[in-house]
């Protein structure tokens, strides 16, 4: 009996990397911006370019900000708009993660995402690894008609979480695809496949590339916020204070913004 084929999904953030991954043999692309912070929604221009340039399905990350997976109402509306835009730009699927404040799958919002993405594949991202019971969460996502779940089995890496991934696959067989991801490399692929029983893998091994201009420049990243797992938002009180201070320096001026 011939061996069952193994599907490889490449996680990339540029058209060049997407082309290189497909040239190397990737069967599917997950397209993100800002992989350094776990991936955010890429630009429409990038989605259009990658979707037109590669011959494999492109899954587009829908994540409006860094931090947790509990977007505000405004952020959720943005996610729905981004799904519609990604569909028009040629995406074959969307990747998202929605949790309640207590860490469970946000079923009502997930259903709205699935409905909004009609005609596209829907992939629940590694937000599932932050739930208290990834197996139960996977079952819920299967009931919500999600196409696939990307998971490390609630562990740091897919190899460490392999037993849970295998249980997730068994529990949702024929109703939900389970895609192991997290620390997947050539050295452990065979072990992950054997331990999980899955026949598809998600990986995006990366290297740091330092641009020459910023090498000795000022810091452009709020590393304190990012390292804590929080997300940045406007400090309205501080902004108001700055506006009042600026206004006090020129009380009679009324600048008009350019259009």
Q: Tens digit of pLDDT for each residue in 96-108?
A: 999 999 999 999 9
Whole-number pLDDT of residue 208: 75
Q: What secondary structure does DSSP assign to the chain, as a single string?
A: -PPPP-EEEEEESSHHHHHHHHHHT-SEEEE-B-GGGT-BPPPHHHHHHHHHH-SS-EEEE---SSS-S---HHHHHHHHHHHHHHHHHT-SEEEE--B-TTSSB-HHHHHHHHHHTTTSEEEE-GGGGGSS-HHHHHHHHHHTT--EEEE-TTSSSTTTTHHHHHHHHHHTTTT-EEEEBSS--TTTHHHHHHHH--SEEEE--------STTTTS---S-HHHHHTT------HHHHHHHHHHHHHHSTT--PPPP-
Whole-number pLDDT of residue 226: 55
In the chain, pLDDT over 70 holds for what percent of residues?
85
Q: Tens digit of pLDDT for each residue in 192-236?
A: 999 999 999 999 888 777 666 655 665 556 655 555 566 676 678
Low-confidence ranges of the chain (pLDDT < 70): 1-4, 210-231, 233-234, 246, 251-259
pTM, full prediction: 0.88
Whole-number pLDDT of residue 223: 58
Whole-number pLDDT of residue 1: 32
């Amino acid at each position: 009996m011939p061996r069952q084929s193994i599907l490889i999904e490449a996680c990339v953030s540029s058209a060049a990397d997407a082309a290189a991954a497909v040239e190397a043999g990737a069967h599917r692309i997950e397209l993100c911006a800002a992989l350094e912070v776990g991936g955010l929604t890429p630009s429409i221009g990038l989605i259009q370019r990658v979707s037109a340039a590669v011959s494999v399905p492109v899954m587009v990350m829908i994540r409006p900000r860094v931090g947790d997976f509990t977007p505000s109402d405004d952020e959720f509306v943005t996610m729905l708009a981004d799904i519609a835009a990604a569909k028009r730009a040629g995406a074959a699927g969307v990747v998202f993660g929605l949790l309640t404040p207590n860490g469970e799958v946000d079923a009502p919002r997930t259903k709205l995402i699935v409905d909004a993405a009609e005609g596209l594949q829907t992939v629940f991202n590694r937000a599932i690894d932050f739930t208290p019971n990834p197996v139960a969460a996977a079952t819920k996502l299967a009931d919500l008609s999600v196409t696939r779940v990307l998971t490390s089995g609630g562990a740091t890496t897919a190899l460490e979480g392999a037993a849970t991934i295998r249980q997730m696959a068994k529990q949702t067989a024929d109703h939900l695809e389970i895609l192991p991801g997290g620390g997947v490399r050539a050295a452990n692929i065979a072990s992950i496949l054997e331990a999980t029983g899955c026949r598809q893998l998600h990986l995006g091994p990366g290297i740091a590339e330092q641009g020459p201009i910023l090498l000795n420049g000022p810091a452009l990243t709020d590393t304190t916020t990012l390292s804590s797992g929080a997300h940045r938002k406007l400090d309205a009180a501080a902004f108001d204070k700055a506006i009042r201070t600026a206004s006090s320096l020129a009380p009679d001026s009324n600048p008009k913004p350019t259009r």
